[in-house]
Amino acid sequence: MGHPAEKLHPATYADLEAVPPHQVAELIQGTLYVFPRPAPRHASAHSSLGMQLGPPFRFGDGGPGGWWILDEPELHLGGDTLVPDLAGWRVERMPELPETPYFPLAPDWVCEVASPSTAAIDRAKKMPVYAREGVQHLWIVDPIERLLEVFALTPEGWLLRGVHHDDAKVRAVPFDAIELDLSKLWNKPAPPAGSST
């Protein structure tokens, strides 16, 4: 489970770099949080969502294009270092990828795939940082509950704009130009062509 490191002083980026590569580390308000790598169901939902969004929004195949959609980018936002499961930047805001191994520009959209070890941190710690930095859209995907929550940033904070369940087909901002098939986030791959199963 993600937990704060036991330290008497605020954690630093050097502490984050010392975390073994088989774990995910984030630095939030001077506290280092360390998590196991995503479980298979989490990783499958994350990858499946990226595969649905990438062609129409990154490449313009069947959609408007105009986005960078990236897996697990390291974000340096103020003094915080966050690693969302997916993030997207509109090309007009970020015409080129940075040369640094991290992103200093806040995304336009982030997606956190909740797990028992990350859900509380995603909501209580990371959502306020994303709001502070002006991220306009945030999705939380829960592969265990088979749930998509869609949030939009308002002057008062995060507004829940929609909750979608199970095998729904939805249009969710900022990617409402396409219909998203939620069943693809939790179901098994299709059988091979010509298979009898």
For residue range 10-69, list pLDDT tens digits in order. Answer: 899 999 999 998 899 999 999 999 998 888 999 999 999 999 999 999 999 999 999 999
pLDDT tens column, 68-82: 999 999 999 999 999
The Cα-based distances of 140 to 22, 100, 118, 172 in angstroms read 23, 27, 11, 12
Sign of the Cα torsion 26, 29, 30, 32 reads negative
b or e along 71-108 (b: 16 or more beta carbons within 10 Å of the residue's beta carbon)? Answer: eebbbbbeebbbbbbbbbbbeeebeeeeeeeebeebbb
Residue 102 has pLDDT above 60, yes or no: yes
CB-based contact 88:57 (threshold 8 Å): yes
- In order of start, what are the domains of the chain with their CATH numbers? 38-186 (3.90.1570.10)
> d(Cα 110, Cα 107) in Å, to the nearest integer?
7
Residue 90 has pLDDT above 70, yes or no: yes
SS3 150: strand
The Cα-based distances of 38 to 41, 99, 186 in angstroms read 8, 27, 15
pLDDT tens column, 104-150: 999 999 999 999 889 999 999 999 999 999 999 999 999 999 999 99
The residue type found at 135 is V
Residue 197 has pLDDT above 60, yes or no: no
pLDDT tens column, 148-157: 999 999 999 9
> d(Cα 194, Cα 181) in Å, to the nearest integer?
23
pLDDT category at 191 given cuts 50, 70, 90 is: confident
What is the structure's pLDDT at 149? 98
Q: What is the mean pLDDT of residues 170-182?
A: 97
Q: Which residue in 80, 90, 85, 12 sits closest to 49, CA to CA?
A: 85
Residue 1 has pLDDT above 80, yes or no: no
Q: Which residue in 127, 125, 170, 124 sits closest to 146, CA to CA?
A: 170
> d(Cα 54, Cα 67) in Å, to the nearest integer?
9
